[in-house]
Amino acid sequence: MQAAMAINSLNRPHPSLIPTRSEVGRSDVDTAGKAGCGDCVLGKLCLPRIFTSLSQDSVRGHLNSLVRQNKALLKRKDVLFHQGHEFDSLYVVRTGAIKTVMLDENGTEHITGFHLPGDIVGLDGISTSRYATTAIALDSTSVCTLPFAALEKVASQVPDVQHHVFRIMAQEIQKDQHMMLTLGHRSAEQRLAGFLLRLSQHFQHRHLAADSFRLPMSRGEIGNFLGLAVETVCRILTRFQKIELLQTDGRSVSQLDIAGLKALMSTPVREL
Amino acid sequence: MQAAMAINSLNRPHPSLIPTRSEVGRSDVDTAGKAGCGDCVLGKLCLPRIFTSLSQDSVRGHLNSLVRQNKALLKRKDVLFHQGHEFDSLYVVRTGAIKTVMLDENGTEHITGFHLPGDIVGLDGISTSRYATTAIALDSTSVCTLPFAALEKVASQVPDVQHHVFRIMAQEIQKDQHMMLTLGHRSAEQRLAGFLLRLSQHFQHRHLAADSFRLPMSRGEIGNFLGLAVETVCRILTRFQKIELLQTDGRSVSQLDIAGLKALMSTPVREL
DNA sequence: CCGCTAGACTGATTTACATCAAAACAAGGC
DNA sequence: GCCTTGTTTTGATGTAAATCAGTCTAGCGG
């Protein structure tokens, strides 16, 4: 609960106001986020927001209503969508944080990504029209829904939108390839350093402190995501504290030495 | 050279006929592949081919000419596109094989993918409009060029095409995420088993032998791709031979025990 | 034909992590 | 308040895979 507060100190409804339900229904109109995209704290950082700044009025109105209609509120551990369920929408994280988890053939859970405000979730569902992962809220989280069929329709009418969607998807490809590289070729220390730097960058990009923030996920989740044992994550974190690369207190990180971490990233690369 | 022959025993020009040049020029019209998509050996397995089966004649003609115009021929080690260079086209591998290599900040090479006939290369360039990788032919290889600007234009006119491009990109996302999972959570043996199975599947999908084929890449390249040392790849390969999971002779693999490899994949998963 | 290089393979040694085990702490329920 | 349950941390031990150090073979250029 306090975890949620620090992630983004945005003008968000107090936790106590958040309705409790375990899954977001598609039918019920959520009134929590009545404001249009224009008022959103994400500002320019959001995908739909870029749509609304487009020239053609018809499209703008269309999209604005498309996006506005349902803003879902999730509490910790709520599921946004399930692996294997029919794909119909993309979601933009507005506040909070979400993890996407893939259950493999053997029943093991693998975290494929953490998604912070401004990130888009659900892209993995487009190819098979079923979600390839389960999306779970790590904190109290609000998302905007982008029904994909409608998005496709608008995209086919407005080339700029189409182009933008292509770019969004290509960005995801690049991100995943970078992650492949990390997992295949970097040491535990470097993975963790890179992970922290990426988080830091994310916050900075949103005009939040880059050297001091709260981790929305547990050590175990970090380990799972980075292909490391929990113990390794802990040990490296304490090692980083000893070298003064950062300070931790539970899930909050402070005094992040960004330059130091970057140095760590560049020096000793595994030569395969 | 003989390596090229076995990869796909398709009706392809003899290696000696392949012109030698180190990079494919954009301006020179390549006459090597005059036939339209209709005659292509890839048949239904190719992306553009699906376009040409669309209903609208105007679009069909447009796309057919778009794709037909240049079919590039590459010889081993030729570069199709360079990391950092301006992105303008996607490529479909027609015959042969291509690897995509990413050079990281420290100057280390990381192979992000191997691409066999029917695969699409260049998607990583869309987001930044610069290629994120360098694509290098592993064998004598022919590709079809899909200028992206033109593709976008057609996509915005024909919803089916747009949808199809979305799916292609989403497929790449899924593939990469699966690879992340492999690199983060599976043992060396399992990585190699999975790698071989994927190759096998690819060949089977193209109506070629699933249990006997030629590897277009070296052990070193396999290791780099899978995040393993060359020595490990060799050792596991000989181990597999001892357990009768396969036979190798240089780059050719035979008597692949698909069921056995699959069993190996499912049993002992690392619990992180 | 012969040296030369690149790739494939094998063995010995080291090491970075995982695993196992257990304590300390925090948070929520009753 | 105490008890339960999950998370974080630390230490000891084991091991998979990297590294180091070669040999062997196949192509290739002279």
Based on the domain organization, do A20 and A134 belong to the same domain? yes
Which pLDDT band holds residue A60 (cuts at 50, 70, 90)?
low
Residue B196 amino acid letter: L
Based on the domain organization, do B146 and B90 belong to the same domain? yes
Q: Is residue B173 part of a domain?
A: no
- pTM for this prediction: 0.85
Mean pLDDT (chain B, rounded): 82
Based on the domain organization, do B97 and B15 belong to the same domain? yes
Based on the domain organization, do A216 and A152 belong to the same domain? no
Among residues B157, B173, B205, which one ends one of the domains? Answer: B157
Q: Give the burial class of A237: count Cβ atoms within 10 A of its Cβ; 0-12 exposed, 13-18 middle, 19 or more buried.
A: middle
Residue A15 CB in 7 A reach of strand C: no
> How far apart (Å, rounded) are the C-alpha atoms in residues B151 and B166?
12
Contacts for A111 with CB less than 8 Å, ≥ 6 apart: A99, A100, A101, A102, A221, A224, A225
Tell if the CB–CB gap between B181 and A102 is shorter than 8 Å.
Answer: yes
> How far apart (Å, rounded) are the C-alpha atoms in residues A12 and A5?
9
Contact A99, A217 (CB under 8 A): yes
Q: Which of A196, A225, A199, A227 is nearest to A111 (CA)?
A: A225
Q: Measure, in angstroms, how far nucleotide C23 C1' is from residue A231 CA.
A: 14
Based on the domain organization, do B26 and B100 belong to the same domain? yes
Closest nucleotide to B218, Cα to C1': C7
Note which residues in 160-179 of chain A have CB less than 8 A from chain B. 162-163, 165-167, 169-174, 176-177, 179
Based on the domain organization, do B242 and B124 belong to the same domain? no
Domain hosting A218: range is 186-266
Based on the domain organization, do A134 and A213 belong to the same domain? no
B41 is written with which tokens? 């050996």
Tell if the CB–CB gap between A108 and B152 is shorter than 8 Å.
Answer: no
Q: Which residue has the higher pLDDT, A6 or A38?
A: A38
Which pLDDT band holds residue B10 (cuts at 50, 70, 90)?
very low
Q: Is residue B178 part of a domain?
A: no
Q: What is the largest CA-CA distance in chain B?
A: 58
Residue A175 has pLDDT above 70, yes or no: yes
**Residues of chain A found within 8 Å of residue B127, distances taken between Cβ atoms:** 167, 170-171, 173-174
Q: Write phi, then psi, for B86 (nearest 5 degrees).
A: -65, 135
Q: Measure, in angstroms, how far nucleotide C8 C1' is from residue A32 CA.
A: 64
* Segment among A40-49, A138-147, A257-266, B144-153 with least mean pLDDT: A40-49
Note which residues in 211-270 of chain A have CB less than 8 A from chain B. 223-230, 265-266, 269
Q: Is residue A171 part of a domain?
A: no
Q: Is residue A180 part of a domain?
A: no
Mean pLDDT value of segment A193-202: 97
Based on the domain organization, do A22 and A135 belong to the same domain? yes
Residue B36 has pLDDT above 90, yes or no: no
Based on the domain organization, do B146 and B240 belong to the same domain? no
* Segment among A29-38, A252-261, B51-60 with least mean pLDDT: A29-38
Based on the domain organization, do A135 and A210 belong to the same domain? no
Q: Is residue A52 part of a domain?
A: yes
At A259 the pLDDT is 97
Q: Measure, in angstroms, how far nucleotide D1 C1' is from residue B178 CA.
A: 49
Based on the domain organization, do B38 and B102 belong to the same domain? yes
Mean pLDDT (chain A, rounded): 82
Q: Is residue B177 part of a domain?
A: no
Count up the domains in chain B and report the number: 2
CATH code of residue A99: 2.60.120.10
Among residues B137, B157, B177, which one ends one of the domains? Answer: B157
**Residues of chain B found within 8 Å of residue A99, distances taken between Cβ atoms:** none
pLDDT digits (tens, 9 = 90+) for B154-176: 899 888 889 999 999 999 999 99
Among residues A136, A157, A178, which one ends one of the domains? Answer: A157
